[in-house]
Chains A and B, each alone.
Chain A
């Protein structure tokens, strides 16, 4: 199997976005009206070039020798660690508004340290407490940044 082909998804996805953008905008209205460019002119031109470049890249990837691509696969990676990071980022993105910054750090940070980084629990708790305090004192107190307090906690108090 040509491994290069499994790496086609990114240019394919970008090409699909570019072609969808181009078709949607082009069908919507003309690029130039009465000699004046409309707001869709640049997005249309850009999406057209983007689509062409994605097609060329995909063609090159298909034509490439498998060995050249396979040589990049021989690296050891810690996928479990990455999964914990991605889960933490997702938790921050989804829960920040509801839980608030400091409580979320208190929940997510020790989990990331213990399960993602294999830091002993007592150390993880200590680091979380110190980090939470530093963030609170520096940003909330010193720089007067109003960190998100969370709608759930705000509703209770």
Chain B
């Protein structure tokens, strides 16, 4: 374990990588502070910047952006009651109340320290757990992978923010998009309609930048043009340090948040909003002063913030070791790794140990950078909220267009980005969350290859039942589909009853 950690630290502490972690954390926090732009949009927008870098440096920078954006979201939740991303919604409940009670500094401080401790503990967990995952999956063949991907996708649809059926629609639309281009087995063209730029399929970058970046910016453009009024512009470093009593109350919440975040972060599709919500609910249930929750309880900030940071780091384990991204953000990071020629999966540890251990160690460094950066510079980040959206939105949009072009210096990538931007915007307006689509798109290639190889190997679908692991996973998939169907029928009935009632009245 220590040899691995030393190898990782060797990579992460190289001056160029330290610089990338620092730049990533700073830019991630700066963009994450802006309401509406969460980690996935931030990473999607900034991904083209990493194309010029070596794989290890690129993913270290993306990790920094990710962690920075998560913390940026917490700043706006506490100070202006506007969550930068869904995981920070829970932080608003007590964080903003603390700010109103004159403890804005302590709330921001405990969020930063809690995230730091949770991040460190999660990284230690990853160091212990990650090498064991490839051992566990040594016997995995195409049938197991096909079922694992299917189970992961169905799990994502169970916890999607737009409802199970709509998440399912998005996931299968993503699988459909993944079939565009040259067939990986026969080499035949599918759905390319004679366009040569589609021969390699739809790129993950135009898809992610469009669905998350451009769509988010269009949604901001549709909203009213408001500038935030700031009451907490000047915060001194001393104000960010929680009192001894606050530390005493927060310490158990930070411990529990680390464990909850780490365990839930490993699950596919859990999502950081669920992680922080579970941590908040547990803190409230265990608290001796439950009545204080919602009125500025520091445990209500410490628990969810710690859990959300621990979870976001634990999510790297299934992505790097199994090639299964557990959240849309991980899907986009996995896409970036693919562009850099890094094949994620059980062989990553042996083939690219520098990338794997470098990423794990860089999380330790990024957490340290974040706390060193955020405590003294928080006032500067907060002032970004004063920049009117009338300037920010067009400027970011312009850089998004340039970023899309720099992928391959192709105008077609700009077309695809803008097209997916409009599609993503329409999806949101109609109540569809595009996250499962991107996740399914990333997994689509693995799913199709594994499914077809399994059918060739086993001469039919019987192979999925012959092998114990794939049989269990198949049963899990069937159970999840049945749950969806039963729930939909029940909802459909209650919905029909409500319409009848409304018509009668």
Contact = CB atoms under 8 A, between A and B. Distances in A.
A63 interface: yes
Main secondary structure of the interface of B (DSSP, over half): helix
Interface in B327-372: none
A11 B426 CA distance: 12
A9 B430 CA distance: 9
A32 B461 CA distance: 12
Contacts of A46: 172, 175-176, 179
Interface residues on A, range: 35 or more
A67 B503 CA distance: 11
B169 A14 contact: yes
A32 B394 CA distance: 50
Contacts of A145: 402, 405-406, 409
Contacts of B426: 10
A109 B398 contact: yes
Interface in A96-116: 96-97, 101, 105, 109, 112-113, 116
Interface string B411-431: 100110011011000110011
A76 B401 contact: no
Nearest to B172: A50
A78 B225 contact: yes
Given A10-B427, A81-B222, A53 B168 contact: yes
A135 interface: yes
Contacts of B398: 105, 109, 131, 135
Interface stretch (B243-251, B254-262, B269-277, B489-497): B489-497
Contacts of B168: 49, 53
Interface in B196-211: none
B169 A57 contact: yes
A19 interface: no
B423 to A, nearest CB: 10
B448 interface: yes
A65 B405 contact: no
A42 B451 contact: yes
Given A10-B430, A47-B176, A60-B492, A82 B218 contact: yes
A2 B225 CA distance: 31
Nearest to B169: A53
B223 to A, nearest CB: 7
Interface in A53-70: 53-54, 56-57, 59-60, 63-68
B402 A119 contact: no
Contacts of B5: none
B52 A41 contact: no
Contact of B186 (A39, A76, A92, A116): A39
A49 B172 contact: yes
Contact of B221 (A59, A85, A105): A85
A19 B495 CA distance: 27
B1 interface: no
Nearest to A81: B221
B137 interface: no
B282 interface: no
Contacts of A78: 221-225
Interface in B275-333: none
B3 interface: no
B406 to A, nearest CB: 5
A79 B455 CA distance: 51
A65 B172 contact: no
A88 B422 CA distance: 12
B132 interface: no
Contact of A147 (B188, B190, B405, B455): B405
Interface in B222-240: 222-225
Nearest to B401: A92
27 contacts: A14-B169, A35-B459, A37-B451, A39-B188, A41-B452, A41-B455, A46-B176, A54-B169, A63-B495, A63-B496, A65-B498, A66-B502, A79-B222, A81-B225, A82-B218, A85-B221, A85-B397, A86-B422, A89-B418, A101-B405, A109-B398, A116-B394, A131-B398, A135-B399, A139-B402, A147-B402, A148-B405
